[in-house]
Amino acid sequence: MYDVAVIGAGPAGCMASKRMAEAGYKVLLVEKMKLPREKSCSGILIPKSIQMVEKEFGEIPDTVFSHPKINRGIILTGEDGQVFSFESEGYNIWRNLFDQWIAHKARDAGVELKDLTLAKTCEEINDHVMLTLKERGKVYHEKARMVIACEGARGIIRKNIRKASGDFIVTYQTFSEGTIDLDTDFFHAFLNPHFSEYDAWFNVKDDHLIIGVGVKNASMMKSYHSKFLSFLKSHYNAQIGKPEKVEVGIIPEIRPGYTVDLGEGRVLFAGDAANLLNPMGEGISSALASGYAAAEAIKSNIHGNDINSGNILKSYESKLNPEIEYMIRQWKFLGTISPNFG
Ligand SMILES: Cc1cc2nc3c(=O)[nH]c(=O)nc-3n(C[C@H](O)[C@H](O)[C@H](O)COP(=O)(O)OP(=O)(O)OC[C@H]3O[C@@H](n4cnc5c(N)ncnc54)[C@H](O)[C@@H]3O)c2cc1C
């Protein structure tokens, strides 16, 4: 029997599992993909993320950075063309390499890390959770006293428990060579419903110009992307080559009335799986913070063989409350810039 099984080796899962293993608990971390796995992301670590990563995982290795290494902040252009500049120095990393590095750090701390292992179901039975896992075609079961589902947006564990998927936004981004009259040290976001149903963005990683849009209706992603590209050509003299890489991703859709979902019983949710996401799709900081809070809540409420899952959930909620309040404040602020997010 594991003390804790963690599902998904992204920032939330690596943080949660490492914290538990370091405290001496028996921890399983399953990841359905082969590591290093691709994760569609702009790969910007804001200062809050950097602080948590350096404190928990140590100095970030050079191999993980993309160029320019420093992201100087975000420049936001509203529908009416008004520009807001938020300067703040963050890092620019490649997610596949970054996530592999933190997963290995978790493994080095004593976590049993299994990639190519899909968690299919979690069923609470008396004093434990029965997990059904599928590893390279073989289906088997493991028991854990607690589970932390860190499976990202639209995971199957949360869907099975809640009997529904949360609302989500589909992201579509292309990587091309080219030139543009925008400051490539910044992340540029555009809140214009003519070329995105959520937001559209431009940033640079190594020699790639990345152009992305968020949509509610996936069948519209290419048409919005092409409108955004035309806008970048006409307004910023963009000369963009043929895409060398195309990525489709998912983020939770945060809109008025949404709820953060931290789980129930012996299954906690963290990161995107809990519906935690900050404006402009910044979610690594809340994934790290929720993975941390989930682990601390479990640690402070396990007494020998005794587990009170109700107390764990309450403790998780209260530890994460400042993060959630911060997130709500940020979304409300965005609502003052764009009525779409009001
Ligand atoms: C286009 C785009 C750009 C973004 N840019 C940024 C950015 O610049 N900065 C930022 O902070 N955030 C950004 N985000 C958001 C960020 O990527 C997420 O908020 C963050 O990755 C959430 O971390 P997580 O650990 O919750 O989940 P994830 O990182 O999604 O990790 C979940 C893991 O669980 C695995 N998994 C899923 N289901 C199962 C299962 N059943 N069994 C086993 N494994 C499973 C997945 O393979 C995955 O590895 C961006 C998102 C998108 C889509």
Same domain? 181 vs 236? yes
Q: Is residue 186 part of a domain?
A: yes
pLDDT, one tens digit per residue, over 111-146 is 999 999 999 999 999 999 999 999 999 999 999 999
Integer CA distances (angstroms), 303 to 20, 101, 298, in order: 14, 32, 10
Query: Is there a domain that residue 81 lies in?
Result: no
Measure the CA–CA gap between 47 and 322, rounded to whole angstroms.
Answer: 17
Query: Tell me: the pLDDT tens digits for 215-268?
Result: 999 999 999 999 999 999 999 999 999 999 999 999 999 888 889 999 999 999
127 Cα to the center of ligand 1, angstroms: 30
Last residue of a domain, one of 223, 252, 281: 252
The model scores a pTM over 0.75? yes
42 and 150 housed in the same domain = yes
pLDDT digits (tens, 9 = 90+) for 11-27: 999 999 999 999 999 99
Q: How confident is the model at residue 174 (pLDDT cuts 50, 70, 90)?
A: very high
Calpha distance 203→212 (Å, rounded) = 9
Whether residue 14 is contained in a domain is answered as yes
Q: Are both 195 and 244 inside the same structural domain?
A: yes
Distance 145 CA to ligand 1 centre (A): 25
Interstrand relation of 263-264 and 245-252 (parallel, antiparallel or unpaired): unpaired
What is the CA(65)–ligand 1 centre distance, in A? 18
- CB of 174 within 6 A of ligand 1: the answer is no
Residue whose CA is at the smallest distance from ligand 1 atom 45: 8
The answer to whether residue 13 sits within a structural domain is: yes
Burial bucket for residue 105 (CB in 10 Å: 0-12, 13-18, 19+): middle
- With H, G, I as helix, E, B as strand and everything else as coil, classify residue 82: coil
pLDDT value of residue 339: 79
48 CA to centre of ligand 1 in angstroms? 17
What is the extent of the structural domain holding 11? 2-67+94-167+256-341
The conformational region for residue 186 under phi > 0 = left, psi -120 to 50 = alpha, else beta, is beta
Q: Whose CA is nearest to atom 1 of ligand 1?
A: 41
Q: Are 218 and 138 in contact (CB under 8 A)?
A: no
